[in-house]
Amino acid sequence: MTATSGKLVKGATGDWEVVIGLEVHAQVTSNAKLFSGASTEFGGEPNSHVSLVDAAMPGMLPVINAQCVKQAVRTGLGLNAQINLRSVFDRKNYFYADSPQGYQISQYKSPIVGEGEVTVELEGGKSATIGIERLHLEQDAGKLLHDQSPTMSFVDLNRSGVALMEIVSKPDIRDAEQAKAYVTKVRSILRYLGTCDGDMEKGNLRADVNVSVRKPGGPLGTRCEIKNMNSITFIGQAIEYEARRQIEIIEDGGAIDQETRLFDPNKGETRSMRSKEEAHDYRYFPDPDLLPLEFTDAYVAEIKASLPELPDQKNAR
């Protein structure tokens, strides 16, 4: 699959091509969390929607929520993607104060959904087909509150264990307009399917944006990841700033550090957050408490038959 060419960025040494990949994190529409029966309702008192499983109390074991699995399969079908009849949950190990387990249950080598594609409409009657690399299920982390005390941070675990679908695109996106169109389209598909409400203000849909630059048609450059974008407008602004920043560094004889960055909407710029980890840093291994997910073709066919009319089908009609 080839990416549609986007707008080239003019630099001091000629034109540059921007290469963008997106990881969209969509909260699954479900009354209960991925591995516990605790409520997913937004806006409760801190730590009021927390089960013993979410708090990682000793001896507590996760139990898979079948509704979340079904929602992930529906989403995969809506993205014209391959549904894997066997998938595995893995532990992604890292310490973070709002993750009481000390690891995240996610999927690595065997995700629930494989390759798919989304076609987006662009200005001037053009369109672009963006490849989907995978969709996997994982649990969300809690939330740190830094504004409650001058000396301490507080932890709210209401969101801990809520089911997320991480939809990973291929690096097929070539400019900010294509990126914005892609997120808009994915959000629309999720809403039609009823698998995520797409509410970006509440953080129910957010995106990590990977940006690199290269001479047109050249080898891929070193990418930087901009974390937790919850506005389509800001995604566009962040890409344009980050591409310009990288071009200026390279043209001045510098090198791009692979790192995670944050976007400051007030200043319209990205800033460094931390060096970027690689997959091996997380020491993934199959979760010993969860059996592999196994589907039948009949199960997938039944879900497919129940899908509503999606945006492209409605347009065609």
Per residue in 165-203, pLDDT (tens digit) is 999 999 999 999 999 999 999 999 999 999 999 999 999
Confidence at residue 296, expressed as pLDDT on a 0 to 100 scale: 97
Confidence at residue 305, expressed as pLDDT on a 0 to 100 scale: 97
Q: Give the pLDDT mean for 26-51.
A: 96
Tallying the residues shown for the chain, one arrives at 317
| CB environment 255-290: b (16+ within 10 A), e (fewer) | ebeeebbebeeeeebbeeeeebeeeeebebebbeeb
Distance, in Å, from the CA atom of 258 to the CA atom of 10, rounded to the nearest integer, reads 23
Contacts for 62 with CB less than 8 Å, ≥ 6 apart: 34, 35, 36, 53, 105, 287, 289, 290
Confidence at residue 165, expressed as pLDDT on a 0 to 100 scale: 98
pLDDT value at 15 more than 70: yes
Read off the amino acid at residue 94: Y
pLDDT value at 2 more than 50: no
- 3-class DSSP state of 305: helix
This prediction has a pTM of: 0.94
Confidence at residue 277, expressed as pLDDT on a 0 to 100 scale: 67
pLDDT digits (tens, 9 = 90+) for 259-290: 999 999 999 999 999 886 676 789 999 999 99
- Report strand pairing: 90-93 vs 103-106: antiparallel
Report residue 1's pLDDT band, with 50, 70 and 90 as the boundaries. Answer: very low
Task: Return the structure tokens found at 22.
Answer: 């997106």
pLDDT value at 36 more than 50: yes
Residues 207, 24 contacting (CB under 8 angstroms): yes
- 3-class DSSP state of 282: helix
CA 273 to chain centre: 18
Residues 234, 242 contacting (CB under 8 angstroms): no
pLDDT digits (tens, 9 = 90+) for 73-119: 999 999 999 999 999 999 999 988 899 999 999 999 999 999 999 99
Task: Return the structure tokens found at 221.
Answer: 């450059």
pLDDT value at 3 more than 60: no
pLDDT digits (tens, 9 = 90+) for 112-149: 999 999 999 999 889 999 999 999 999 999 999 999 99
